[in-house]
Every structure is written in structure tokens, then in C-alpha cells.
Amino acid sequence: MLEMTREEFEELVAEALDRIPPELTRLMDNVAVFVEDEPPADDPELLGLYEGTPLTDRGEWYAGVLPDRITIYRGPTLRMCAGREDVTAQEPAGAGEPPEGVAPGAREAPEGARVPVVGEAGVTAGPAAGPGAEPGAESGVEPGGVSGGGRGGPSDALRDAVRDEVAITVVHEVAHHFGIEDERLHELGWG
């Protein structure tokens, strides 16, 4: 399995949040992002989970409630990416699908706001638009990959796979906060 500390994984989650366009992060409201090592025992392959009331379902009654919760799970993400690496080492270039039986799981703010990532090391946060981002700059997040990374070598390729998977999972769960259902996310390539 890939060796990645909890802090390194939290940094990847913070990077993924930083890549969400500021036009969207400004609309995020009453939501906290957490990193946990493992999902509930009844769903061990779950990569992420959104719990709360989507923005589209909130009405006049919505006040004085605890924040929505987005949880990104470290263990299944690392295992899935390590499994994908095992498969690609045995198949032709470009294969890269997760091994059979590894399900992707549910993937499940004011201007300049920071969306917190809550983890074992405390709360870390990144600017909504990312460090040094220009207003209107591209987010760098696209289904199937995140720009940046890669220094060569199998370890770096695996770390890039984790970075990509974390970005997809974060965007997927944030989309649930905006009221987008799984079916539509799969159609858009964010499944």
C-alpha cells in the first residue's frame, strides 16, 4: 500500500478545495470538510460522504443547524489507487481501471473565504481560489485528472493518482452540497 501520512493526505484535500472556482466557493454555506482514516464498517470502500441539507433543499426553515459535513476517507482512497497501480503494472499502458470488486464508493462561503479541512492535526484551510490564483483563473480541476504534480517514477505516479482521486472525490461531495445527485455526477464524469 502507498505510504502517505495523514497530514500529506489532508494537504491533498486542501489542494482539491483550493482548485474549486471562487464563483462556487462563495456560494458554499455552512459546510465543514473532514478527513478520516476509514469509513463506517458497513461500507469499507467508501471514498467520501456528504451529510447535510443541500443548498437546493434549504428554505426559510433552515436556521440554527449544525454545518453540513463532507468526509473524505484516506484508507480506501490509498488502497484503491494502490490496487489501480498493481493492475496497470500488469496491463498495457492506459488500462488503469480499478481491480474488479473495488467500487469507487459514494463520492460523496463568502469571497475569499477558506473552507476548513478538519483532521487529526487540527484545522487547516486554504484560500478558496488557491494560492496566487488570479480572479477568473481556471480551477485546474477536470474529471479524470488534476493539473500539476508528476516528478516521474512509480511512486510519483501513484501519488499523482491519489491526488487525482482526492480531487474527484472532493468535487463529487461538494456537488452534493449544491444538490447535484449521483446520477448526474456520473453523466458529467465526476462519478
**Mind listing the pLDDT tens digit for each residue in 130-179?**
333 333 333 344 444 433 344 444 478 888 999 999 999 999 999 999 99
Domain with residues 6-187, CATH architecture: 2-Layer Sandwich (3.30)
Return the domain boundaries, the chain. 6-187
* Cell numbers placing 158: 501513484
- From residue 3, alpha-carbon distances to 32, 75, 128 in Å are 26, 11, 28
Closest CA to 14 of 57, 72, 59: 72
User: What predicted TM-score, i.e. pTM, was given to this entire model?
Assistant: 0.68
**DSSP at 52:** S
Residue-wise pLDDT for 119-128, tens only, equals 444 433 333 3
Q: What is the pLDDT of residue 86?
A: 52
| pLDDT tens by residue, 42-51 | 999 999 999 9
Buried b (16+ CB within 10 A) or exposed e, 161-186: bbbbbbbbbbbbbbbbbeebeeeebe
Return the closest-CA partner of residue 78 out of 117, 108, 42, 44.
44
Q: What's the grid cell of residue 105?
A: 464508493
Instruction: Check: CB of residue 124 under 8 Å from CB of residue 15.
Output: no
**What SS3 string covers 102-167?**
CCCCCECCCCCCEEEEEECCEEEEEECCCCCCCCCCCCCEECCEECCCCCCCHHHHHHHHHHHHHH
